[in-house]
Structure 1
Amino acid sequence: MSTSTTESTTSPTPTTTTKHTTTIESTTSQPRLTNETIIPITGNATKYTEHQILNTTTESTTTSTPTPTTTAKNNTTLTEKPTSSTTTPTTTTKPTTAELTSSSTVTPIIATSSTTTTTELTPTTTKLTTTLTPVPTTTAFIPMVSSTTPCFCVFNGIHYNPGDKIVNKNHTGSGICLTLICSEICVVQITTEPCPSPPPPYGCPKWNKNTNETFMFCNCTMARCIKDNIIEIIPFECPPLQNITCENGKKPVLVYDEHHCCPYYTCDCFCEGWGDSHYITFDGHFYSYQGNCTYILLEEIRPQYHLKIYIDRVYCDLVEHVSCPRSVIVSYNNLNITLMNLNHIGDADLEAVVDNVKLKLPYAHNGMRVISSGQDLFLSIPDLSVNISFGATGFGINLPFQHFGNNTQGHCGTCNNNKADDCMIPGGILVDDCAVMGDYWPASDVNSEICTPPPALPTVGGISKPTSKPCQAHSYCNLLKSKLFEACHSHLSPENFFLGCEYDSCHESNPALVCTSLQSYARACSQLGICIHWRNYTNLCNIECSADKVYNACGPAEPPSCDLPDHNTNTVTTEGCFCLEGTLLFNKESGVCVNKCGCLDASGMPRKFDEVFEYNCEECICDKARKSVICKPKKCSNVNPGICTEPEFVLVNVTNPSDPCCSKQICNCNVSMCPPLDKKCGVGYVPVLKVPYGKCCPEIKCESKKVCVHNNTEHEPGTNIPVTDCQECSCTSDVDPETQLLKVKCGSVQCNEKCDPGYEYIKKNLDDCCGKCVQTHCTVNFNGVNHTLKEGETFPSTNQSCDRITCTKVNGHFITNKYTVQCPPFNISNCQPGTVQQSPDGCCPVCVDQIKGCQVQTVRDYIKHKDCQSEEKLNLTFCSGDCTSSSWYTEAGMSSCTCCQATRSSNRTVSLGCLNSDIVTHTYVYVEECACSRTNCHEMGKNYTLPEDRQIST
């Protein structure tokens, strides 16, 4: 970097006598480095005198300009203004005296002094020796009203802190200068002194330039002051135009220097946000950040234009921990405008707000302008070429590098065409991940009550990037890299938008959110002049338009309207629903498309010029001159007053049915004048309030409920009414003409003496009207024929079947039990030859056994006890077999016998199921061993005789 040196000489002034000499140490300041360009003198410079130059205007003074340097870091091009090549002229400067002026008028509190002061200046480059003659000054104090600590002074309605100069050496006339200072005790101190004399003119006073001072003359031509209004014209040469590469992927922008002479390329600053808090910084760095607070998107490092942009984020998903932009707040020129989305889940509901008051768009105030395209809100600051958009998908900020280069910080990073320093937190500390950086930019002066304090500031490199899990992107994300967007790929890479789409696929429960990445990329392509019609290739991202509008992917952000048909100051394109061809918006606010321009009535209905119509009982006309609807109250005809002749009627005004805008008088009933009503109705009747025709007051009448009444009890039609035991009564539908109640019909009871099989008709009491059918037998249906069984009777008695049905009476109820005859074990080898035959019931084979010894026999059968039975068949044992026996008679009539009897047995238990669903436990005898035992043949006078087939005689 080169530095120019300026020699400065000071012309001596006459020396005057002084009483006191004060020496003040001073250093000669170096020339201030600015971006102003000094053009070298090439060839033979031309000198002009004041008389040779006509009608010229003095412009800005150029002192010296360092040659800018470009530092390459990470293959990044740093954008700076070009410096044209000039020689460094030697400039002789004369000290100038600033003229002090003030709009304040000082009243006669000023005391003047006749003492004069002369000052001697000794030329030097290191010390400034000043000889001063003390001048008596007059000082007055004006007490000012101030508040409690800290105090302040109030002068002409302006507050000043202690030590502030309110007026600094303001010339009041007659060579006297006035100074007002707010003292430490907050009173205004007034000091007067003689004003310093201006230096004698020298150099080029025609252009207010000093000797050797170089300045921009006109039309990209520079000049140098020689002396005595003689200037030298210096040709102005621009450096070669060089192409640069923008880190954010945008095209470089051709601009001119401050003199509008030399072109050069810069990279304008674009910051975007969409979906689940995805950001692309001014220099093209992509990151995702989930925050639930109001943050600084952009603020100036060194306040110059006093522009601040904030973003308010809220958690917007019921499942995932993700946030969405709720509003963007723009602060500029003492005005805060909030661009809001009232519905961050679903279709956007956008509005612009100032001080919680919704703005009527388009809106322009304090250098800011807001318009709406339906899908997005657009805020522009024309003086700074700033454009801001906000909608359902997110936000976009476009800043010119000329105004904001190297002077931004916040979530959008630093606008200097260098990605390496975008993740910076307050204090100039860089972190590895911009997602970590987000916590450190809360808005301290906007919505601070909902924010949590950020973490403590880390040291350099003290924060690392959090790890993330891989995820499968939604199929729509692949459209970004497909041929659908191919026309834009060479101008702007879709990679950052694909990363955002991939993130939304994994962290958002609403699958439609992937549309925001596609829409944001399409919008960025549209800003480059490339229009992509992509929505028809998805099923989730369609936009529905009303019948009078059509969808356009790249329509004007400010479409033509009747109020401004050809006025479109905003060149930004946007997608949305636009009026059909041949129609235009009636105005920016209505959203109504019309064929011809006219007026809109209060309901939003378009009206043609000179159209006369009626609205809200007013006669209106669409005035062409005023281009607005003019209304006046509708006139109604005079109404003659009426007269009410009936009692309790009064005159009232009502709407005229033939003309709803006018009224007429009618006689109306005044119910408050009616007597009280107090009437009760009997059983079967209901009170009904009726107003007789032509009467005012209601009357109560008792009307029948259309029921039967017996013994003061109401009965519905078709129901039985108990009267006597041998009489049947029912409520009919016939109406008694006298009482208007329904009639009761009665008749003698007809006894039904026919009973079902197994039942008998029995009349126990003579007083009873009818008897009852009482069960006396069991009923069995066998082969389609009903059979009745008496108690204990078995069916069938003899047949070829071994199934048996037995009739049993339990608790007065007749119950049938079905069982199968179980045959005892049969072994034909135990039979005497020729004796095998069927049992009498025909179920089991039997024979005459051979003589067989006494032994244990087993048979499987159910155990039954009363009304209970085992669930399954059990092994039952008993003793059976022949025993050798004899019978003889003595004189005493004695005899002896032996029987096959159990000699060893045990008791066993089993669970039995009963007819009443009870389970009981039953004990039975299980025979384990048998033998022939002797027994008495005579017992208690009874003779025990063996069966004929078992008797053995000896």
Structure 2
Amino acid sequence: NCTKAICIEDNIIQVVPIICNPPPKPTCANGLSPVQVIDEDGCCWHWECDCYCTGWGDPHYMTFDGLYYSYQGNCTYVLVEEIYKKVDNFGVYIDNYHCDTRDVVSCPRTLIVRHETQEVRIATVKPNTLQVKVTVNKQAVALPYKKFGLSIYESGINRVVEIPELKMNVTYNGLSFSIRMPYRLFGNNTHGQCGTCNNNTADDCMLPNGNIAENCETMADHWQVVDPSKPQCSPGLIPTKAPSTTPMQPCKESSICKLLLGSLFEPCHGFVRPEKYYAACVFDSCVVPNLDLECSSLQVYAATCADQSVCIDWRSHTNGVCSYKCPSDKEYRACGPIKEITCKSSQQNETSTKQMEGCFCPNGTMLYDSGVDVCVKTCGEFYCFTRMHFGEKFTVDCQDCICLEGGNGIVCEPHECAKQNKTSCDGEGFYEVNEVNSEDSCCPIVTCKCNTSLCTTKVPKCTVGFEVHSHIPSGQCCPVYQCVPKRVCVHQNAEFLPNSSVFVDKCQNCFCTNEVNVSTQLNIISCEHIPCNTYCEPGYEHQPVKGECCGRCVQTKCVIHTANNSDLILSPGEFKSDPYNNCTIYSCVNIHNQLLSSTSEITCPAFNEENCKPVSKYEKLTLYSMHGLLHPTLCSVRQRKDFIFYKSCRSVDRVVMTECEGKCGTFSLYSADANSMEHSCSCCRESRTTVREVELKCPTGHSISHKYIYVESCSCQDHEC
């Protein structure tokens, strides 16, 4: 109870009241008066500068700390969000649009307030008017509205969104908005187009990344939010340039703007300086002179003055330009109560000194209820005197009521709904929805709706050549997916339409057919090999070659041209005599995969006439060298000339070679002493040899040196018989 207990001694306690010393009154950067805030102990108080941001016209902004700027973007923007998130899903946003035919300036269209599970939208019904409609989570609601810690109500010309837990309120009337937030809850923790609430204008132009822009026009464009209805808008675009305030012709300021600096608003000048509002008014009257937007500058200034408890009746001084018409059963007041007294609230004490302009019930009448916009002279008159008789029952606001005399004239109980068959929304994707009952609007009907986003089955990823087909079976919500063939051919993870060519390899012409492979469900690829000439000359065979389609003729046998112009075909390792000359032999060898042919001629021993005996007595002797006609000669050296072959290489010319040939003694005699046959054998063999060297020419073109044995002398040498 704002007292302090002090223990003296011996259980003696002194209780003294806490003394509060009034703190010095600070100066707020936004030019508004500071507010008294109770300390945490609930006893003393201190001054704070509330966060107060306004916007109006086309549009002009005054940040929390009082920095003025104009911005002409036509997207949806963040007015205020927390830097460090303390409140779930909290923020205030503005949807601007181009409000003149030249798309030069923009005006506010919708104010959006998000708090936890609710999103409030206050939208302008008709451009540049004070007609608005309110929706919560995209559903139209009647005012006053109060649910989940958020309330919405009418206050004069404004619609007010109030969040008591955060001690903040947001107002909007179609032409202007205001946001009031307590410094103790939001100080140093706001950013957006309304700036940072810290009583310092130096950082009001803060970008989302924490940097400070050179001006707030640049900063404002960076606070775009994704809006599906405005695909041309996205964060990070080039800042929207403000239109020039210098018109093509000299601009004469509107006389309405001068009212801000004159005696009419002078009582407020000491509380709120008018210069920035005057500059905005001149801007609007020069740039868009036909929209009467200058009225919004006076309206916002008057509302700010009323917030400081200074009420000014200004509309009657505008010669009808800024007049405001009320319904026939109400009258306009520049200084009416923030919350109008109703039959149900008449007993409550209204202590607020702040006032608000708007349409109010005439003197002598009272608003029946904040939810029933009818002025009555006596409470209960609205229903009981004009529609019902006393004692008659009726239903209103989903309550069963009866008209009684005295008091408010109405006694109500909650409306009872008839029992309904319980609807069970079983099945994946279904959820319950309350729909309006045409027979009883107070008793909604529970129906089942399908929301495919609640389905858990994921769309399968089909292999190449297949695609996803889906269908929703009767009585179900979630689709059933399956991969079905696309009636195409597939080769190397690529799809080919029927009758289109398919490249398999360069040796085949392939195309996609309309025939389907039963096992793979894919169309069949038909291929034909490229036509090839497989004829080869004799001695050659057609063999495939890697990297080539048709192969080529490869020599597998030797082709030898004989002396009589005929051809012989020999396989490697084969020997064959000339069909017309048995003394000529042809051969074919394969050396390192190269076929080489050779020709060999059989040479006869050198002919010596001395070895022949005469067979005729004629002077001219006929000599025969046939066997049996030669005189046997003794063992001696015989010479002959022939080619030397070695490893497919051959001597260039015939070489003189020697050999031993002739008769040696050989006999078999009977020996009486030994009583057996005695044998004596001798052979004509070389007795002395030398090694000679000759040059051989090889098929590859190179030459080699070859050594061979040359017989110098021969003799008869004994040999075992």
User: 2:280 — aligned with what?
Assistant: 500
Counterpart Cα distance in 2 of 1:582 and 1:629: 29
User: 1:311 — aligned with what?
Assistant: 94
Structure 1 residue 553 corresponds to structure 2 residue 334: yes
Question: 1:591 aligns to what SS in structure 2?
Answer: strand
Residue identity in the other structure for 1:537: H
Residue identity in the other structure for 1:443: V
Counterpart Cα distance in 2 of 1:358 and 1:489: 40
Aligned-CA RMSD value: 3.7
Residues 611, 328 of structure 1: alpha-carbon distance in 2 compared, 3 angstrom cutoff: same
User: 1:510 — aligned with what?
Assistant: 290
Indicate if the aligned counterparts of 1:250 and 1:492 stay in contact, CA closer than 8 A. Answer: yes
Question: 1:244 aligns to what SS in structure 2?
Answer: coil
Question: 1:430 aligns to what SS in structure 2?
Answer: coil
Structure 1 residue 576 corresponds to structure 2 residue 358: yes
Q: Residues 135-190 of structure 1: CA distance to partner in whole angstroms, max 9, x if unpaired?
A: xxxxxxxxxxxxxxxxxxxxxxxxxxxxxxxxxxxxxxxxxxxxxxxxxxxxxxxx
1:334 to 88, 93, 117: 117
Residue identity in the other structure for 2:297: S
Structure 1 residue 524 corresponds to structure 2 residue 304: yes
Question: 1:586 aligns to what SS in structure 2?
Answer: strand
Which consecutive unaligned segments of at least 5 residues does structure 1 have?
1-40, 55-217, 221-235, 632-954
Shift of 1:523: 0.8
Q: Residues 488-516 of structure 1: CA distance to partner in whole angstroms, max 9, x if unpaired?
A: 11111111111111111122253421111
User: 1:469 — aligned with what?
Assistant: 246
Residue identity in the other structure for 1:292: N
Residues 357, 486 of structure 1: alpha-carbon distance in 2 compared, 3 angstrom cutoff: same
Q: Residues 35-72 of structure 1: CA distance to partner in whole angstroms, max 9, x if unpaired?
A: xxxxxx9xx984779x8889xxxxxxxxxxxxxxxxxx
Counterpart Cα distance in 2 of 1:568 and 1:523: 23
Shift of 1:303: 1.6
Note the 1:131-170 alignment, pairs <5 A. none
Q: Residues 839-869 of structure 1: CA distance to partner in whole angstroms, max 9, x if unpaired?
A: xxxxxxxxxxxxxxxxxxxxxxxxxxxxxxx
Residue identity in the other structure for 1:327: T
Shift of 1:387: 1.7
User: 1:321 — aligned with what?
Assistant: 104
User: 1:704 — aligned with what?
Assistant: none
Structure 1 residue 454 corresponds to structure 2 residue 231: no
Question: 2:264 aligns to what SS in structure 1?
Answer: helix
Note the 1:198-347 alignment, pairs <5 A. 241-306=23-88, 307-345=90-128, 347=129
Shift of 1:599: 6.2
Counterpart Cα distance in 2 of 1:543 and 1:326: 20
Shift of 1:288: 0.8
1:479 to 259, 279, 299: 259
Counterpart Cα distance in 2 of 1:369 and 1:465: 36
Question: 2:303 aligns to what SS in structure 1?
Answer: helix
1:439 to 221, 239, 248: 221
Structure 1 residue 393 corresponds to structure 2 residue 170: no
Indicate if the aligned counterparts of 2:245 and 2:286 stay in contact, CA closer than 8 A. Answer: no
Indicate if the aligned counterparts of 2:156 and 2:356 stay in contact, CA closer than 8 A. Answer: no
Q: Residues 642-700 of structure 1: CA distance to partner in whole angstroms, max 9, x if unpaired?
A: xxxxxxxxxxxxxxxxxxxxxxxxxxxxxxxxxxxxxxxxxxxxxxxxxxxxxxxxxxx
Indicate if the aligned counterparts of 1:291 and 1:313 stay in contact, CA closer than 8 A. Answer: yes
Shift of 1:404: 1.0
Question: 1:411 aligns to what SS in structure 2?
Answer: coil
Question: 2:267 aligns to what SS in structure 1?
Answer: helix
Structure 1 residue 408 corresponds to structure 2 residue 185: no
User: 1:829 — aligned with what?
Assistant: none
Residue identity in the other structure for 2:105: V
Residue identity in the other structure for 2:256: Y
Residue identity in the other structure for 1:337: V
User: 1:419 — aligned with what?
Assistant: 201
Indicate if the aligned counterparts of 1:393 and 1:516 stay in contact, CA closer than 8 A. Answer: yes
Indicate if the aligned counterparts of 1:277 and 1:325 stay in contact, CA closer than 8 A. Answer: yes
Residues 591, 543 of structure 1: alpha-carbon distance in 2 compared, 3 angstrom cutoff: same
Q: Residues 262-283 of structure 1: CA distance to partner in whole angstroms, max 9, x if unpaired?
A: 4221111110011111110011
Indicate if the aligned counterparts of 2:342 and 2:366 stay in contact, CA closer than 8 A. Answer: yes
Residues 244, 448 of structure 1: alpha-carbon distance in 2 compared, 3 angstrom cutoff: farther
Counterpart Cα distance in 2 of 1:456 and 1:411: 16
1:541 to 322, 329, 333: 322
Residues 614, 566 of structure 1: alpha-carbon distance in 2 compared, 3 angstrom cutoff: closer
Shift of 1:517: 0.7
- TM-score for both structures, normalised by structure 1: 0.39
User: 2:554 — aligned with what?
Assistant: none
Indicate if the aligned counterparts of 2:392 and 2:403 stay in contact, CA closer than 8 A. Answer: yes
User: 2:149 — aligned with what?
Assistant: 367
Indicate if the aligned counterparts of 1:320 and 1:509 stay in contact, CA closer than 8 A. Answer: no
Q: Residues 596-618 of structure 1: CA distance to partner in whole angstroms, max 9, x if unpaired?
A: 112656xx995476176999xxx
Counterpart Cα distance in 1 of 2:175 and 2:262: 21
Residues 303, 609 of structure 1: alpha-carbon distance in 2 compared, 3 angstrom cutoff: farther
Shift of 1:457: 9.8
User: 1:937 — aligned with what?
Assistant: none
Question: 2:214 aligns to what SS in structure 1?
Answer: coil
Counterpart Cα distance in 2 of 1:629 and 1:385: 33
Which consecutive unaligned segments of at least 5 residues does structure 2 have?
396-400, 416-721
Indicate if the aligned counterparts of 2:368 and 2:375 stay in contact, CA closer than 8 A. Answer: yes
User: 2:505 — aligned with what?
Assistant: none
Indicate if the aligned counterparts of 1:558 and 1:570 stay in contact, CA closer than 8 A. Answer: no
Residue identity in the other structure for 1:554: C
User: 1:586 — aligned with what?
Assistant: 368
Residue identity in the other structure for 2:340: P
Shift of 1:336: 1.6
Shift of 1:237: 7.5
Note the 1:408-807 alignment, pairs <5 A. 408-444=190-226, 447=228, 450=231, 452-455=233-236, 468-469=245-246, 471-538=251-318, 539-567=320-348, 571=352, 573-598=355-380, 600=382, 606-607=386-387, 610=390, 622=403, 626-627=410-411
Q: Residues 877-920 of structure 1: CA distance to partner in whole angstroms, max 9, x if unpaired?
A: xxxxxxxxxxxxxxxxxxxxxxxxxxxxxxxxxxxxxxxxxxxx
Q: Residues 684-730 of structure 1: CA distance to partner in whole angstroms, max 9, x if unpaired?
A: xxxxxxxxxxxxxxxxxxxxxxxxxxxxxxxxxxxxxxxxxxxxxxx
Indicate if the aligned counterparts of 1:597 and 1:608 stay in contact, CA closer than 8 A. Answer: no
Counterpart Cα distance in 2 of 1:403 and 1:46: 36
Residue identity in the other structure for 2:121: T
Counterpart Cα distance in 2 of 1:630 and 1:404: 40
- TM-score for both structures, normalised by structure 2: 0.50
Counterpart Cα distance in 1 of 2:359 and 2:73: 32
Residue identity in the other structure for 2:301: Y
Shift of 1:344: 2.1
Residue identity in the other structure for 2:81: E
Shift of 1:478: 0.8
Residues 457, 318 of structure 1: alpha-carbon distance in 2 compared, 3 angstrom cutoff: closer
Indicate if the aligned counterparts of 1:325 and 1:344 stay in contact, CA closer than 8 A. Answer: no
Shift of 1:630: 12
Indicate if the aligned counterparts of 2:51 and 2:182 stay in contact, CA closer than 8 A. Answer: yes
Indicate if the aligned counterparts of 1:293 and 1:450 stay in contact, CA closer than 8 A. Answer: no
Shift of 1:351: 2.1
Indicate if the aligned counterparts of 1:426 and 1:441 stay in contact, CA closer than 8 A. Answer: yes
Question: 1:370 aligns to what SS in structure 2?
Answer: strand
- Aligned residue pairs, count: 400
